[in-house]
Structure 1
Amino acid sequence: MFDLKHYLAEKRRSINTALDQWCGETDSPSRIVQAMRYSLTAGGKRLRPILCLAAAEAVGGDPDAALVPACALEMIHTYSLIHDDLPAMDDDDLRRGRPTSHIQFDEATALLAGDALLTMAFEILAKEGDPAGGDPARRMRIIHEIAAAAGYQGMIEGQMRDMAAEGAALDAASLAEMHSLKTGALIRASVAAGAISGGADPARIEDLTQYAGRIGLAFQVADDILNVEGDPGVMGKAAGTDRDRKKSTYPALLGLEGSRRFSLRLVEEALHAIAGFDGGADPLRAIARYIIERKR
């Protein structure tokens, strides 16, 4: 029987070791390096980089070949969290059980730390290792997938829509589209980058993209539920903030039980998308279930 807990712990160790090596000296006198390390090494699920490694395995590739894009994705994700927490956006004081970057340092340093992590992600993608197996076109495709997902037609557009929708009641289609950009785009890129690193053919990549789209939305539904009934001590961040900011959420639209049913359906659809894969995709199958069962 597949042991997801062991798998996640093993992959987190590998990812954390690589991130630690790339993100400057632990005792660096540089304030910006200290701020980058503060957020990047604060823990977290490492879901996006793990999905990248698992997708490489699912197509029969070497997960080590996907470690560079995996770590770049975590840098981008962390930058987005630093910026999301700023007073100009969500104005949060707590992230991953610690004061947010702008509380620990200051707003200007937090902004620059986020900018630095974003640019470092593309620095390592262009320089470190060879996730493309010596194929420049494949390497460029990985970079393009990640850049597009993080940019103005992906994650940033989703964040803009989320901010603009505060106080409004989005319908189901608009809510799904917003979250497919804000949360889903980087999750889809994580799976696609891993599959490309593993040498997948177009049909396999398409199946995995379908899988990623479903789990990306399921992840957001689970986040919305946790914001209502999660334990702040476990989550490492405050609960009830969506209600306070009058955000459009799935519990507000469907109710808690309706949201749970919807998340289960999304996971079933994700598993159906990779039903033709062999046991190499078992980590992806287990992660799909974990996404809606997690407590943080």
Structure 2
Amino acid sequence: MTVRRDFKEPARCRPDQVIGREELFTAAREQLGRGGSVLLHGPAGIGKSTVLRALAAEYGGAARTVLRCSPTESESHLPFLALADLLGLVLDEVSERLPAAQRIALESALTGRGESTLQRDGLALRLAVLSALRALADSGPVLVVADDLQWLDPASAELLGFAARRLGDTPVRMLCAVRTDGQEYDRHLRASPPDTLAVRLGPLSSAQMSALLDHRGYTGLPRSTVRDIHRTSGGNALFALELGRALAENPTPPRPGEPLPVPTSLRALVLNRLEMLSQEARRTLLVASAGARPTLALLHAAGRDN
């Protein structure tokens, strides 16, 4: 999707509403202000999309063109889909400025009117994406906003990575977010412009979480309940808000010491994350949750494949 200079984000994405991420937001803002790119990363629900939208709202107005994509897991098998989201609406603007071979390859990939694959049109497609971004940047700064990079279809990921590594001083900034649980963001960083700043979002503190719950309307919660939410969610913003919503909808709130109500949506999200773990890791977690005082030796033994 392409957005012009008059683009306005919803009020909920204003920079002053990024709760608990002020320092990270400032670092990312300064990086974009210098003409660099930013890669936000962290686990699911930690708040990457909120920060990304706030940064896009602030810097979208300074760019002549804003290109956007937000892929989903269910569509990640469709080749060139993310690329079509990014460049589909500007294809007419740039196609006549591309060499014939690049134009034909890119039009085939984005419109589906012809068969195009990385194996057959690899070099032409790679150069076409790079040329298209340069052509757009000739008329003014370009901001590429991509959320959930982990769901990019492999063809789009390859083409964008090729272009990003070769943009040089071209005024194209990339603002991206990717779900990670460790150092796996390195793969996405290598496919980003060389001047990309990687910003990891970690858990919120108890005070930050209390401010977030208040901001979202879950006010008046006892301090002990806020502490329980913080402990149960592990500082994860999405988990905390889902727990806060469940408490607000529960006519009989739990008494001190009772477990918090866990909504179905949160159960599904946690189960989905557990399914991504290896069998050994799930077995270890099962033993840890069942044992009153599980020792490291016990957990190590539980994780071994007997």
What TM-score comes out, normalization by structure 1 length? 0.29
What TM-score comes out, normalization by structure 2 length? 0.28
Greater helix fraction, Structure 1 or Structure 2: 1
